[in-house]
Amino acid sequence: TSSETTKDEL
């Protein structure tokens, strides 16, 4: 789901 998108951005 979108909320679990790993925060891969700085």
Partner 1 sequence: MNVFRLTGDMTHLASILVLLLKIYATKSCSGISLKTQELYALVFLARYLNLFTDFISVYNTVMKLVFIGSSLAIVWCMRMHKMVKRSYDQELDTFRHYFLIAGCFLLALLVNEKFMFPEVLWAFSIYLEAVSTIPQLVLLQRSGNVDNLTGQYVFLLGAYRALYILNWIYRYFTEPHFSRWIACVAGLVQTALYADFFYYYFLSWKNNAKLQLPS
Separation of alpha carbons 2 and 7, rounded Å: 11
In angstroms, what is the minimal distance from the CB of 8 to partner 1? 5
Alpha carbon of residue 5 to chain centroid? 3
Distance in angstroms (rounded) separating the CA atoms of residues 10 and 4: 16
Chain residues 1-10 in contact with partner 1, contact rule CB under 8 A? 2-10
Residue 2 CB, nearest distance to partner 1 (Å)?
4
Count of residues that interact with partner 1, criterion CB under 8 A: 9
Q: Which residues bind partner 1 (CB under 8 A)?
A: 2-10
